[in-house]
């Protein structure tokens, strides 16, 4: 059986930015708060971390900074996937050398690879590194769906240990779980589906919500794993309005606004992302006040 990278909730952490680049002071404070709040792992420079608009130097610097700041307190998973397999290999090797505990590999976007292309691309990256790899299936953003049979074939690779499933298709995730057994850990990639994925044998969630509410996101997983499914479900449903507000515009626009309201960063995004629409922001902040977050 392969080693599990983490169980519970991992935060797909934002990257605090300003006009000068990455705000490392805010980034460090946020990392420390996440760990103090009990988060089980941190995913750096993924979708929520705006990895797609960071320069290569910034991408590498953010990974190195996060690894050094975390200092082994929880696993650090570096987002190193790309639509260019050669670049994904290069960035993945860097992350391994920088001390990341694992890699998160999004399916190649825009290119819309065939299933054979996915097999060969992910295999090329996994062959090139010595750290665990977690695949990331998010067809709504990439235009490319990692089908269960493809994921099952990739699960035979010794370095491919998990998948973040953000297809939103519970039937597909059930089929995946049936095919991979204990060869691949499954993580929910959608905060509104944590409990359903756990019920299919999932190990946890790679979460946007946990930027704002790390303790509660961990609690959803912890309660389920301890056998208190009713309390886990109750907390999942209680937080559903906030979860929906955090995805009413494309991620990470709402969560950046939320974290800025909590004083963790500037509400600064890089084009093509723009600040949240005012009516959406008012609703988000109202829900945050209901949770005593601001």
Which residues touch 235 (CB under 8 Å, ≥6 apart)? 216, 219, 220, 223
- C-beta separation of 187 from 219 below 8 A: no
Q: Read off the DSSP letter of residue 192.
A: G
Q: Read off the DSSP letter of residue 276.
A: P
Q: Which of 2, 131, 164, 187 is catalytic?
A: 164
- C-beta separation of 59 from 15 below 8 A: no
The yes-or-no answer on residue 110 being catalytic is no
Beta pairing, strands 17-18 & 21-22: antiparallel
- C-beta separation of 177 from 149 below 8 A: no
- C-beta separation of 253 from 273 below 8 A: yes
Q: Which of 131, 136, 187, 256 is catalytic?
A: 136
Q: Which of 244, 196, 186, 260 has the alpha carbon at shortest distance from 224?
A: 196
Q: How far apart are CA 34 and CA 44, in angstroms?
A: 13
Would you tell me how many other CB atoms lie within 10 Å of the CB of residue 29? 16
- C-beta separation of 213 from 235 below 8 A: no
The yes-or-no answer on residue 183 being catalytic is no
Q: Which of 225, 215, 170 has the alpha carbon at shortest distance from 192?
A: 170
| DSSP annotation string for 51-114 | GGGS-HHHHHHHHHHHHHHHTTSS-EEEE---SSHHHHHHHHHHHHHHT-SEEEEEPPTTTT--
Nearest 10 degrees: CA dihedral of 251, 254, 257, 260?
A: -60
Hey, which residues are catalytic here?
Answer: 136, 164
């Amino acid at each position: 059986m392969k080693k599990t990278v983490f169980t519970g909730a991992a935060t797909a952490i934002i990257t605090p930015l300003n006009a000068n680049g990455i705000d490392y002071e805010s980034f460090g404070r946020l990392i420390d708060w996440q760990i103090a709040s009990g988060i089980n792992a941190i995913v750096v420079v993924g979708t929520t971390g705006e990895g797609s608009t960071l320069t290569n130097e910034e991408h590498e610097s953010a990974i190195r900074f996060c690894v050094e700041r975390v200092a082994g307190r929880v696993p650090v998973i570096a987002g190193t996937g790309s639509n260019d397999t050669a670049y994904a290999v290069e960035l993945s090797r860097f992350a391994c050398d920088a001390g990341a505990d694992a890699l998160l590999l999004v399916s190649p976007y825009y290119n819309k690879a065939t299933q054979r292309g996915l097999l060969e691309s992910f295999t090329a990256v996994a062959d090139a590194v010595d750290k665990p790899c977690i695949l990331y299936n998010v067809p709504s953003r990439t235009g490319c769906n990692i089908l269960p049979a493809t994921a099952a074939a990739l699960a035979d690779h010794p370095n491919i240990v998990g998948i973040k499933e953000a297809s939103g298709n519970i039937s597909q995730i059930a089929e995946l779980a049936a095919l991979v057994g204990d060869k691949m850990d499954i993580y929910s990639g959608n905060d509104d589906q944590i409990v359903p994925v756990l019920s299919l044998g999932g190990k946890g969630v790679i979460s946007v919500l946990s930027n704002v509410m790390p303790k509660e996101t961990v609690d959803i997983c912890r309660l389920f794993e301890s056998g208190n499914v009713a309390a886990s479900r109750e907390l999942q449903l209680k937080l559903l309005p906030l979860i929906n507000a955090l995805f009413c515009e494309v991620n990470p626009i709402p969560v950046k606004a939320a974290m800025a309201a909590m004083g963790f960063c500037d509400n600064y995004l890089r084009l093509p992302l723009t600040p949240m629409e005012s009516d959406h922001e008012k609703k988000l902040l109202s829900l945050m006040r209901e949770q005593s977050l601001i």
